Amino acid sequence: MAWATDFIHNCRNWTRGLKRSLAPSPVAATEAAQFQALRRRLLLSFLVVMSTVVGLGSIVAIEFLIYNLYQQLDQQLLVLAQAAGHSLEAIEEAHEEQFDNDSDEDDRRQEKERAKQERKAKKQREREQELDDEDEDKDEYEDKNEDKNQADQNQAKNFNTDRPNAPDFLDDRFFEGRQDLRPRLDNDGDLDIPWQSLQQPDQGVEWFDARGKLLARQGRIFPAWPLAPIAQPQGAIAQDQQLRSLTTPFYDGEKQPPRLRGYVRVTESIDSINSAIQQLGTGLAIGSGLAIGLSTIGGLWLTRQSLRPIEASFRKLRQFTADASHELRGPLTAIRTSVEVMQSHPERIDPADVAKLAAIHNATGQMTQLVEDLLLLARQDTPGATAHPRQSIDLPELLESLIETYADRAAVQQIELASELPPASVLGEPLLLWRLFGNLLDNALKYTPAGGRVWVVILPIGRDRQVRVEIRDTGIGIAPADLPQVFDRLWRADRVRSHREGGSGLGLSIAQAIARSHQGQITVRSQLNQGSCFTVTLPAFAPNSKPVPL
């Protein structure tokens, strides 16, 4: 049965390896996330532009409708006011006649009441003569009655002079059945149309004299604000939330200079306009929502279609980099081997060619390293290309071995190399992590002058179960403007020095790619001429926990 157990174990390992090979690498996942973020930005920009266009179009449409509706309303009010103005003279005469008759009737009523009060007072005096012999209390009583009678007389004298229940203007009852208030022919050159034919149920007409006194009104809608003197011949517009009125002055053109005859104020409800605007706003809101929804769907499709060629170009570029790096390894290895063979027989070399062969050997070494770096980056970017079994790594042991490797170089450069390495374990590939921390340590030694210090520190594991390794130096530092570009490929802050020392500008990019492939990250903080600190964050691995395939 041992063979069956081994077979099952091998199948499980093969299945895990297949899953790792099919799963996208963290670098590829990061690139996919970057493309997804780019799609979102493009879609958001497209939607902002579309929303702005739709919003501005809706505002223009509503404002244009409001302008046209109010223009039509003002034209209707003006026509009605001009028609009603022709009846101003007739209404003034009717007003005077009506209230002159009312005044005569009031005088007769007051005279009749006054005679009645006088007869009553005469009877009261006769009774007072009969009661002359009464005692002092009765005299006092009579005095009170006399005072009361005097008050009644004073009240009768002022009876009904204020006419509290009667308006001092002509109302709707006065206009019923009246045909004598039709506009009179005034030979002013325009067509005199009866205002009764133009007035609508939701309109009100008011006539005022030259002093602003209300003479008459017709209709059901009247404004609450008082009449203001109008100097403009074309009139003035007033409005609140429900009513809109036009007040027009009228002059007697037969006299020079023209004399103000009075005013006509025409009022109409704007509920219909508000309702039309509300309906238009609702329709535009629904239409805009549908337009934005369709634009969103179309924008998603367009952004995906537009970015597909770019994604394909990136994939082809990665494949080309990997293929080119792989193809260049052979010729470079052949050149380097040939040069080394020639250098192994110096007696066969012309002394003048020794320096040239050394330069060729160094250049070949740099090109080989560059090709290896490009190939490593291409493998990190390719899904499944780096799917190797991960194992628990004692991080202090790996870093101590790395420090011993660079100790001689640090001593030659007169740089103090120190470490502070408490216990910590991570899950990963030893060779890749060696390359990760080796690149960071090489970078620190490269840009730290003699007499400086470089130290490697493992920070205590926090609650987030993350291991943080800091590589600090007292080197030249990085300018704040260059910090965002530190991990870009083929980027170098000091290009002259990097070329002189053999730098390719891929070390930090490789370190970042390896950290991401281990579900970690690298951050940097630096001050110019004071030093830098690179922090590598990796998930901590507990020996008793079951490892999860990366």
CATH number at residue 525: 3.30.565.10
**pLDDT tier at 103 (50, 70, 90 boundaries)?**
low
Position 22 in a domain: no
Q: Coil, helix or strand for 252? A: strand
The predicted-structure confidence for 499-529, as pLDDT tens digits, reads as follows 445 556 778 888 888 888 888 999 999 999 8
How remote is the C-alpha of 365 from its chain's centroid?
A: 56
Q: What is the domain count for the chain?
A: 2
Q: Coil, helix or strand for 287? A: helix
Is residue 22 scored above 70 in pLDDT? Answer: no
Position 245 in a domain: no
| More confident of the two residues 202 and 323 | 202
Query: Domain ends where: 123, 157, 191?
Result: 157
Is residue 80 scored above 90 in pLDDT? Answer: no
Note the pTM of the prediction, 2 decimals.
0.47
Measure the CA–CA gap between 267 and 242, rounded to whole angstroms: 10
Q: How far apart are the first and last CA of the chain?
A: 32
Measure the CA–CA gap between 127 and 121, rounded to whole angstroms: 10
Instruction: Name the most confidently modeled range: 19-33, 357-371, 449-463.
Output: 449-463
Residue 382: both structure tokens together: 């390719």
**pLDDT tier at 20 (50, 70, 90 boundaries)?**
very low
Q: Provide mean pLDDT across the span 181-198.
A: 50
The predicted-structure confidence for 262-278, as pLDDT tens digits, reads as follows 898 999 888 888 898 88
Query: What pLDDT score does 28 carry?
Result: 57
Position 43 in a domain: no
**pLDDT tier at 324 (50, 70, 90 boundaries)?**
low
Residues in the chain: 550
Position 468 in a domain: yes
Contact 428, 467 (CB under 8 A): no
The predicted-structure confidence for 158-189, as pLDDT tens digits, reads as follows 323 333 343 555 555 555 555 555 544 444 44
Is residue 146 scored above 50 in pLDDT? Answer: yes
The long-range contacts involving 304-307, CB below 8 angstroms and separated by at least 24 positions, are: 304/39, 306/42, 307/35, 307/38, 307/39, 307/42
Measure the CA–CA gap between 16 and 10, rounded to whole angstroms: 10
Query: What pLDDT score does 160 carry?
Result: 33
Position 531 in a domain: yes
Query: Domain ends where: 157, 191, 206?
Result: 157
Dihedral-angle region of residue 478 (phi above 0 means left; psi in -120 to 50 means alpha; beta otherwise)? beta
Position 440 in a domain: yes
Query: What pLDDT score does 414 carry?
Result: 94
Q: E strand or H helix at 392, and its extent? A: strand 391-394
| pLDDT > 70 fraction of the chain, expressed in percent and rounded | 64
| More confident of the two residues 532 and 186 | 532
Position 105 in a domain: yes
Question: 187-191, 296-300, 316-320: which has the minimum mean pLDDT?
Answer: 187-191
Q: E strand or H helix at 426, and its extent? A: strand 425-428
Position 111 in a domain: yes
Domain that holds residue 123: 88-157
Q: Coil, helix or strand for 253? A: coil
Query: Domain ends where: 125, 157, 189?
Result: 157
Is residue 336 scored above 60 in pLDDT? Answer: yes
Q: E strand or H helix at 407, and its extent? A: helix 395-412
Nearest to 99 by CA among 155, 174, 156, 184: 174
Residue 502: both structure tokens together: 């053999």
